[in-house]
Chains A and B, each alone.
Chain A
């Protein structure tokens, strides 16, 4: 069966520090991968998605970047964190290819980021 992991679970970082959040998926090949941010425990904002290694699409311009160095690894990064980057970051995957865009996404447990 497929599983999705995220770490760390919680993170407290000072403003201006770098960020690296990692997401890995097991039990499937070439999944579509997604990064979301959830602010104030409510709506989800899609940040990035990837349909393959090195293929990253950004949904909104921001202080963050994403990379996919391996098939089942998705990394969210920042060079300098802002206060507004605080939130709950969720990684998700769906089945590969175009069909993945029309099927359900499976979410990881999330990372709670607090920027002070």
Chain B
């Protein structure tokens, strides 16, 4: 079975500071990992994905994520947060050995304080 956990419901960070949104996963095969962002009353927007290759993945709006196989983690990062980054962030996983579709985490609300 595949699962994903976002251990923090809420993350607050000051504008200009680095931000990290945590995600851990569990799969039986190789993981396919995704990050999405959702603004209020909107659909989800794709940020980045890890399928294979370089463990550091760069995505939209200056976000990046690091795949760590030994820690089964895929944390989202940004060197310098903007107030406009405030939104709900979702991590998602697909098990390469499973017919199941994407499983989403419960989401982390990021608030960037001016």
Instruction: State the Cβ distance, B28 to closest chain A Cβ, in Å.
Output: 15
* Contact status A43-B94, CB under 8 Å: no
Q: Which of A46-98 contact B (CB under 8 A)?
A: 46, 49, 59, 88, 90, 92
What band does the interface of chain A fall in when counting residues whose beta carbon is under 8 Å from B?
Answer: 20 to 34
Chain A residues touching B, majority SS = mixed
> Assuming the A-B contacts A102-B32, A102-B96, are A42 and B106 also in contact, with contact meaning beta carbons closer than 8 angstroms in the complex?
yes
Q: Are A46 and B101 in contact (CB under 8 A)?
A: yes
Chain B interface, number of residues (Cβ within 8 angstroms): 21
Residues of B within 8 A of A43 (CB): 104-107
Is A7 an interface residue when CB atoms closer than 8 A count as contact?
A: no
Shortest distance between the CB of A40 and any CB in chain B (Å): 10
Closest chain-B Cβ to A39's Cβ sits at a distance in Å of: 11
Residue B44 lies at the interface, judged by CB distance under 8 Å to chain A: yes
- Interface residues in B89-103 by Cβ distance below 8 A to A read 90, 94, 96, 101-102
Chain B residues proximal to chain A, CB less than 8 Å: 32, 34, 36, 41-46, 49, 51, 88, 90, 94, 96, 101-102, 104-107
| Residues of chain A whose beta carbon lies under 8 Å from any beta carbon of chain B | 34, 41-44, 46, 49, 59, 88, 90, 92, 101-110, 112
